[in-house]
Structure 1
């Protein structure tokens, strides 16, 4: 009965102060919603269980070497699959875009080349037909495919006779042998599954392609045991071929992880923890602010509480009286946050399916699921504990005698003043930390959005392709096939230029006549192989010439360099016909400069000027690679521009493998910019909300503190203190908390910045961190001092006679 009376009393207090109730609810809903949405969004991407039976035992297998997670080669898999005993199931697959041709056009569909046993591994049967069997993987087998429910409905109109139908896939007439259930896109986004031919395992160790691997360990075998056995077997196979094929010397191991973790190369947990830590800081800040506002109301009733305790009220009774305001606000805020986050997750689901073809990984379904609901309840309980129970418990367990004699009428007690100062310092520290970290993130996002690229991808299409080395093992065969493909593309009347390149990463360069202390002291320069005219992608010739058909095997090896490199190493003179050595495929090659081209952005200049790093271009006719990125520029308003490449590919050789679908070359770049823009907006939004929370909380605390000292202000004015002196007194007291909070935040930021600076290989200048720290400290100092000045100014304007009677 007494609890019901306390609840009614709390509701009465809240309705009597609608502004306070609305402000407190707004602060709480903002903090809870940010934290809950961040958790749900990242949990869905990184940890949400696969929607297949026995998902917890299904593991993705990666090969670990050189500090990275990599794919297993077909040669390695073929040589270890029979020897490992830890696995009940073990197989490989290859994800590829598959071209579905419809009359004169077509579309790219995400697909997978799989072995028999793949669908059994996912514990899912087709709703029509059969799965891929052993005979389908044999060399020379008839082409067959399974299709997703979505393809069945969209491309075949749900025809019940689908098993008698054929589709033109990658230019080959392929029989449909089965339809998978609705929503089944295993292992990631696949909608078509083709047999992985046994012929891929016939390649040598040097030429073998990489494949995704999966497995399920035997009962009684631990993950660690399986990793050890498989890692040793793979390493043994690799070491046997290192000397034979002059391969890099690595020690290989194996790593088993969830498919979700494998998608992010094991880095998803780091991102999950980091971003959730930021959102939890926001929630903590919101809890502190709500607790501050409730504490201010509790402090106003502190003497009333002490009198009640003196008259015999128990601690539990006093806590109940004091905490129900906070419990009601926290509960209502939690419910409204769940509704708001549920709506935001539904919008996210729609946005992702419209932004990313296929909506991303098939377990990415954002909604108000059980995990989000439970986390929302947990967040609400934590909020009640921090914002309602602790302030009430502290006030109810006060020293009655101290409270009744501490301070005169209208004066602030020492204890209340100390709590107020600690809370202000905590708020300043949290907000400053969030703003400092957020500023670095915002700078990175802004830098990526406004990059000057140094090239021109207008009306340019890109295609990532790989010539099958098992069919064309010799470099000259690969080159002849590619040349034929390039000529077929160039013959199209809408095409105005074709160029292909392959980025060879940074290569060691040795300049003629230069002495180097060691191999490490030699410059490392981005090296790209080129076939065609770089003007196709907006990299213009400045001096000399482009590569021609004469820059081929057997002739003098040639190179083009960027303007930045020409100015850096041959200032004031022509770089043409100068020579240097560049290390390609572990061999030093002497090349002669025949051309100088404009600078463009590369991996080394991601956050710097275009001329801060250099580029070396070598002829793809002399340094041949089976993988190429083909760019072709079309006339404006060309319809179905992607069909130009596919038609040329089918006319050349249908076995050419596509790594990604043909698309506008600017698409990935724009997607990156859009994602960075979203990150920037989220960062600024979060920072602004944190700043708003700080203003509300600090203003509320200061206003309450000044209000309790109104009587003191009246006495000081009565004995001759000026308004200026009184205002300066409050500002100096507030400045102490500001300095302590900012000092702690700056120290923490310095430690984080040092680690980040080393992690990014000092890609950002040191002065950036100093600039961010100075800016945030200045802005926050002004805002905090204004939040302290405003209530102080209002108090000193009060007439002394009124202030002396203030209660």
Structure 2
């Protein structure tokens, strides 16, 4: 009954002051909503186990080249076989790689994402097909009937949900393939697969130089830690590296969850900063609500003292204050959950248009039962934190002194110390958050303005994949792409056309190579990118030739093998001399010829423009001497690149209906999406910073207004005995600036240290971000100055006689 009475009392007190209630609930809703949203986002992309049996033990093994972690099929098939034979850390292990499936049933082909995999991928995920069967060992034998298992979405969208789909045949990359199974709705493992075909490559029949690249899916033994598995993998790969330095000179392997591998290197640091930032926002919200409750406690100090004198137990007074905090936090939490759910739903629509890749199937932006339980725990913790300080203050001190302070309107020393501490905390926290956000905005602005070394304007790109069945010979591949280039270049409005294996912004495959005369130490060959380029592409895309010549008709299959290198590669291995005429060779295959350098181009970024990735060197070889079935097409157009989508697709389809153009997009949009993930993170931090600034501004103003109000009689006395308005204002401003200085001394170094992780990850070319640590203190100084000036001005505006009578 007492608890119910206290709850009703707290409810009536909040209803009596709706403005106070609305403010505190809004503050907590903002803080709790952001916190729940961030926890849900991180759980969706990183921490929630895959939705399969033993999902917590599912991991992926990928290659690591010279300390850089790769994903998406980076492990040589031979290395996978060695790990499978030697490792004792896994209960299951299999291999897969992603490929393109051009499905055709007689009309124009449609491109799908295929996964070429070992037969145990479905037993690995403990998933049975909806229709038909999955792979058997016989399906993986070379020469067996080509078969495929398709995803539910492929069955519905391409085959129209045909109930008799099992046993039907469809052309997959020109090869008649039998459909043997349909997987359940939503099953897209390992990423966003549209169909699966059996892996028939056999490492025992291939040289290491001919080895394909795969990813290994593994089921880790529960008794083994990831650290133990990592050490075992490094030991296995170190032995391989010593034995085969030409192909594995600086190659190792790492184990990661599928979620972390998808996010890439540096994900832990980014997630840590996100959690830190949102925690600071929540702390600011708690400090603000705690401060407002503390101000109410100060206002009711006289009433509380009288109630204690009349025999009210302190425990009842504490619970009444705690109930106010509980009501505020529960209401704020409910609104925060609704805000978080709305933001997650919005994010599920926005995010696919921001990123350069299809979202993996496990990115389900929702509030599950575990998150709701975590939210309830957070709400309970915030209710305790926000209510404990006012409640604690009620139980401290001499109630006679409280009565005396209340009648005179003065501020007690203890209350003054608490107010000063709250201001310092809010200044420090807001400084850290604003510094993090400001640095990230400056860094991302620089990367978004990166030129990539080419002209991105009015360029339309697409991807083409020729089937091995229809284009097995190099001269057939060359004829197709030459016909396509001629067709595109003759199309009205298209000024130029080209093709290369890796467009700027897309990661080039880095291979070990040997410059002529270079001394190899401990069999550790250096790496550089290898990009195959069709004649005329460099001019089309705007790559600047610095020295030598571009590829031309002289570069044929039976002529001198040549290459063009980036200026960074030239400076690194041929400093202070011209590299023209120098030679190098890729060492991953003994049959690779020595390439003579005929040109030097300005550095082009192949990959994301972050850290050391944007400085990785590259070499370019002519298509006529290094034929490829898969190429990226680029056309230079007059006008808007989007207007030429149909013209490009029609040109491709006119040459071969079974070869579709896919991933059609303007080059500038590709660059924008290339940094979409970091841009999203930047926007999140900007929201955190804005909330922090608003919370800190209102909180600091509330604290200073409350403390200044308590000193109204003191100010009146000072003015009555001769102090000028300027002297009183100067005294109050100096006291506010002192708290500002202490907060900045604490927050600014911590903000700088916290931002260095982002600086190292992005790797800026300039130190413009240092300006943030000048601008942020100025912004906070302005906020504190205004928050100090406004209540001080109001107090000074009172006549001394009125101030002395102020309660």
Q: Shorter chain as normaliser: what TM range? A: 0.7 to 0.9
Partner of 1:94: 97
* CA distance in structure 2 between the partners assigned to 1:12 and 1:426 by the alignment: 31
Partner of 1:162: 165
Q: CA deviation at 1:703?
A: 0.9
Distance 1:552 1:640, change over 3 A: closer
* CA distance in structure 1 between the partners assigned to 2:573 and 2:244 by the alignment: 40
* CA distance in structure 1 between the partners assigned to 2:125 and 2:794 by the alignment: 69
Asked if residue 433 in structure 1 is aligned to residue 432 in structure 2, the reply is yes
Asked if residue 765 in structure 1 is aligned to residue 766 in structure 2, the reply is yes
Partner of 1:484: 479
* CA distance in structure 2 between the partners assigned to 1:568 and 1:528 by the alignment: 19
Partner of 1:538: 542
Asked if structure 1 preserves the Cα contact closer than 8 Å seen for 2:269 and 2:757, the reply is no
TM-score (norm 1): 0.85
Partner of 2:713: 711
Asked if structure 1 preserves the Cα contact closer than 8 Å seen for 2:437 and 2:682, the reply is no
Partner of 1:184: 187
Structure 1 stretch displaced more, 667-676 or 85-94: 667-676
* CA distance in structure 2 between the partners assigned to 1:84 and 1:407 by the alignment: 75
Distance 1:419 1:715, change over 3 A: same
Partner of 1:269: 268
* CA distance in structure 1 between the partners assigned to 2:323 and 2:223 by the alignment: 53
Q: CA deviation at 1:554?
A: 7.2
* CA distance in structure 2 between the partners assigned to 1:554 and 1:782 by the alignment: 72
* SS of residue matched to 1:19: helix
* SS of residue matched to 2:745: helix
* CA distance in structure 1 between the partners assigned to 2:568 and 2:262 by the alignment: 37
Distance 1:56 1:529, change over 3 A: closer
Deviations 1:181-233 (A, max 9, x none): 11111111112111111446632112211111122356866666666666555
Asked if structure 2 preserves the Cα contact closer than 8 Å seen for 1:466 and 1:628, the reply is yes
Structure 1 stretch displaced more, 413-422 or 262-271: 262-271
Distance 1:334 1:79, change over 3 A: closer
Q: CA deviation at 1:382?
A: 1.7
Deviations 1:37-68 (A, max 9, x none): 01101111112222223323333233556434
* SS of residue matched to 1:361: coil
Asked if structure 1 preserves the Cα contact closer than 8 Å seen for 2:565 and 2:597, the reply is no
Deviations 1:86-137 (A, max 9, x none): 5432211112232223544233222211222221111111111111111111
Partner of 2:3: 3
Deviations 1:600-654 (A, max 9, x none): 753699489xxx9898865426974858743242765352634655776888xx9
Asked if residue 207 in structure 1 is aligned to residue 210 in structure 2, the reply is yes
- Which runs of no fewer than 5 residues in structure 2 stay unpaired? 503-507, 638-642
Distance 1:507 1:455, change over 3 A: farther
* SS of residue matched to 1:206: helix
Equivalence map 1:296-695=2 (5 Å):
296-352=295-351, 360-405=359-404, 409-453=408-452, 454-456=454-456, 458-463=458-463, 480=475, 482-492=477-487, 494=491, 496-500=496-500, 503=508, 530-533=533-536, 534-539=538-543, 545-552=549-556, 579=580, 581=582, 585=586, 602=605, 606=609, 618-620=620-622, 624=626, 629-633=631-635, 637=644, 639=646, 641-642=648-649, 644-645=651-652, 664-672=666-674, 675=677, 677-695=679-697
* CA distance in structure 2 between the partners assigned to 1:268 and 1:107 by the alignment: 34
- Which runs of no fewer than 5 residues in structure 1 stay unpaired? none
* SS of residue matched to 1:637: helix
The count of aligned residue pairs is: 776
Partner of 2:154: 151
Deviations 1:405-448 (A, max 9, x none): 55860111111011000000100000011111110111122223
Partner of 2:126: 123
Asked if residue 702 in structure 1 is aligned to residue 704 in structure 2, the reply is yes
* SS of residue matched to 1:91: strand
Q: CA deviation at 1:673?
A: 5.4
Asked if structure 2 preserves the Cα contact closer than 8 Å seen for 1:457 and 1:537, the reply is no
Asked if residue 12 in structure 1 is aligned to residue 12 in structure 2, the reply is yes
* SS of residue matched to 1:90: strand
Asked if structure 2 preserves the Cα contact closer than 8 Å seen for 1:446 and 1:677, the reply is no
Partner of 2:61: 61
* CA distance in structure 2 between the partners assigned to 1:754 and 1:332 by the alignment: 38
Structure 1 stretch displaced more, 290-299 or 105-114: 105-114
* CA distance in structure 1 between the partners assigned to 2:272 and 2:366 by the alignment: 21
Structure 1 stretch displaced more, 162-171 or 224-233: 224-233
Distance 1:558 1:787, change over 3 A: same
* CA distance in structure 1 between the partners assigned to 2:720 and 2:543 by the alignment: 78
Partner of 1:728: 730
* CA distance in structure 1 between the partners assigned to 2:299 and 2:225 by the alignment: 61
Asked if structure 2 preserves the Cα contact closer than 8 Å seen for 1:489 and 1:498, the reply is no
Structure 1 stretch displaced more, 143-152 or 260-269: 260-269
Distance 1:201 1:489, change over 3 A: farther
* SS of residue matched to 1:499: strand
Partner of 2:505: none
Cα-Cα RMSD: 4.3
TM-score (norm 2): 0.85
Asked if structure 1 preserves the Cα contact closer than 8 Å seen for 2:295 and 2:706, the reply is yes
* SS of residue matched to 2:126: coil
Asked if structure 2 preserves the Cα contact closer than 8 Å seen for 1:306 and 1:404, the reply is yes
Deviations 1:481-535 (A, max 9, x none): 55334223224354752232555779999999xxx9x9xxxx9999865331112
* CA distance in structure 2 between the partners assigned to 1:198 and 1:409 by the alignment: 89
Partner of 1:240: 243
* CA distance in structure 2 between the partners assigned to 1:457 and 1:726 by the alignment: 61
Partner of 1:747: 749
Q: CA deviation at 1:671?
A: 1.9
Q: CA deviation at 1:773?
A: 0.8
Partner of 1:802: 802
* CA distance in structure 1 between the partners assigned to 2:510 and 2:61 by the alignment: 26
Asked if structure 2 preserves the Cα contact closer than 8 Å seen for 1:37 and 1:341, the reply is yes
Q: CA deviation at 1:249?
A: 3.0
Asked if structure 2 preserves the Cα contact closer than 8 Å seen for 1:78 and 1:201, the reply is no
Partner of 1:289: 288
